[in-house]
């Protein structure tokens, strides 16, 4: 789960680091992808892990469409207007899912089923191992894309100094569109990867949004390495807290760590994206 949380937070921090927009609908994009994976499984018999390969390019297009229709018009608006716009998008996605699928919890089975890897008494479910591995592959791919491609350089330049990037000929609007599409696709991929062991409903988006926000704050808003480090840390803390305490205490522990980081290191554990 830590790897999946990190992947969701990765997209959240890309949007904030490049566009300086807090996308409150980010977790609901993950929820929407979970329902798409559910439909692929139920109506076409496609395994959730295979559907993730279809969902990633599909939600690249969805992200580009959302940017053109919803995000682009409010880029230069006040932070309050930006917040209300993304909250409005959250409400639309949630109520659309509730209208189409209803509020019941739904499960999706993978071909991996309940099989697990046993190592010296330690049981590691294959479904969670595949989720962790797939999430890490996408995280590393996004990092390599941002670090070693021309477009990645443009994103980092825009995150560092939008005016300077514009003066040297970087088309900021195109950078914003591609960054938002990439962030949307990573959030959607995470949703497809967790759906085999995570019940789906129109309201699970809040959990992913909350985790993405906490992870981004702890890791440092705009920091990709920070998002990955904090995501893995939160996943481990949540699991250990649930095992030794209870799920509610585990959540309280996560927010306790958030408060501690804000008191001791308000900028987060690591630097910004462009640093």
Question: 67-109 pLDDT, tens per residue?
Answer: 999 999 888 888 889 999 999 999 999 999 999 999 888 888 8
- Position 173 confidence tier, pLDDT thresholds 50, 70, 90: confident
**Residue 226 belongs to some domain of the structure:** no
**Residue 46 belongs to some domain of the structure:** yes
Give the torsion through C-alpha atoms of 112, 117, 118, 122, to 10 deg.
-100
Average pLDDT taken over every residue of the chain? 87
Q: Domain total for the chain?
A: 1
Q: Rounded distance, CA 69 to CA 73, Å?
A: 7
Measured at the CA of 138, the angle between CA 132 and CA 140, to 5 degrees, comes to: 100
In this predicted structure, what is the pLDDT of residue 274? 43
pLDDT beyond 80 at 146: yes
In this predicted structure, what is the pLDDT of residue 29? 96
Q: Pick 225 or 34 by higher pLDDT.
A: 34
Q: Which two tokens stand for residue 228?
A: 């990955």
- Position 124 confidence tier, pLDDT thresholds 50, 70, 90: confident
- Whether the CB-CB separation of 138 and 238 falls below 8 Å is answered with no
Q: Pick 62 or 222 by higher pLDDT.
A: 62
Q: Rounded distance, CA 15 to CA 41, Å?
A: 30
Tens of pLDDT, residues 197-229: 888 999 999 989 988 888 888 888 767 788 888
pLDDT beyond 70 at 275: no
In this predicted structure, what is the pLDDT of residue 260? 87
For 50, the 3-state DSSP assignment is helix
In this predicted structure, what is the pLDDT of residue 272? 52
**Residue 220 belongs to some domain of the structure:** no
**Residue 196 belongs to some domain of the structure:** yes
In this predicted structure, what is the pLDDT of residue 101? 92
* Average pLDDT rounded to a whole number, residues 147-173: 83
Q: Which two tokens stand for residue 17?
A: 């680091």
The CA radius of gyration of the chain, in Å to the nearest whole number, is: 18
DSSP assignments along 148-208, one per residue:
HSHHHHHHHHHHH-HHHHHHTT--HHHHHHHHHHHHHHHHHHHHHHHGGGS-B-TTTHHHH
Query: If 0-12 CB within 10 Å is exposed, 13-18 middle and 19+ buried, where does residue 246 land?
Result: exposed
Domain residue limits at 40: 2-102+118-202
**Residue 55 belongs to some domain of the structure:** yes
**Residue 248 belongs to some domain of the structure:** no
**Residue 228 belongs to some domain of the structure:** no
Q: Which residue has the tokens 């797939």?
A: 134
**Residue 273 belongs to some domain of the structure:** no
In this predicted structure, what is the pLDDT of residue 271? 58
Predicted structure pTM score:
0.88
Tally DSSP H helices, then E strands, for the chain.
Answer: 11, 2
In this predicted structure, what is the pLDDT of residue 107? 84
Nearest to 175 by CA among 56, 273, 33: 273
């Amino acid at each position: 789960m830590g790897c999946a949380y990190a992947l969701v937070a990765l997209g959240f921090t890309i949007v904030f680091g490049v566009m300086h927009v807090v996308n409150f609908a980010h977790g609901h994009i993950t929820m929407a992808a979970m329902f798409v994976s559910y439909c692929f499984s139920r109506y076409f018999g496609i395994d959730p892990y295979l559907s993730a390969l279809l969902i990633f390019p599909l939600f690249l297009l969805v992200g580009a469409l959302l940017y053109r229709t919803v995000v682009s018009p409010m880029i230069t608006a006040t932070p309050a207007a930006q917040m209300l716009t993304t909250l409005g998008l959250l409400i639309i996605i949630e109520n659309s899912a509730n209208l189409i699928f209803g509020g019941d919890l739904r499960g999706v089975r993978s071909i991996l089923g309940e099989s697990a890897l046993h190592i010296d008494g330690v049981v590691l479910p294959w479904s969670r191992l595949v989720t962790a591995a797939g999430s890490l592959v996408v995280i590393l791919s996004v990092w390599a894309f941002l670090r070693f491609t021309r477009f990645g350089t443009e994103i980092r330049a825009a995150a560092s100094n939008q005016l300077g990037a514009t003066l040297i000929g970087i088309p900021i609007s195109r950078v914003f569109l591609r960054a938002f599409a990439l962030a949307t696709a990573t959030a959607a991929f995470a949703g497809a990867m967790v759906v085999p062991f995570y019940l789906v409903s129109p309201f699970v988006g809040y959990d992913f949004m909350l985790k993405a926000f906490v992870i981004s704050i702890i890791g440092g808003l705009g920091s990709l390495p920070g998002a990955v480090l904090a995501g893995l840390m939160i996943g481990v803390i949540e699991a250990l807290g649930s095992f030794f305490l209870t799920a509610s205490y585990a959540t309280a522990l996560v927010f306790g760590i958030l408060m501690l980081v804000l008191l001791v290191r308000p900028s987060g554990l690591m630097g910004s994206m462009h640093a």
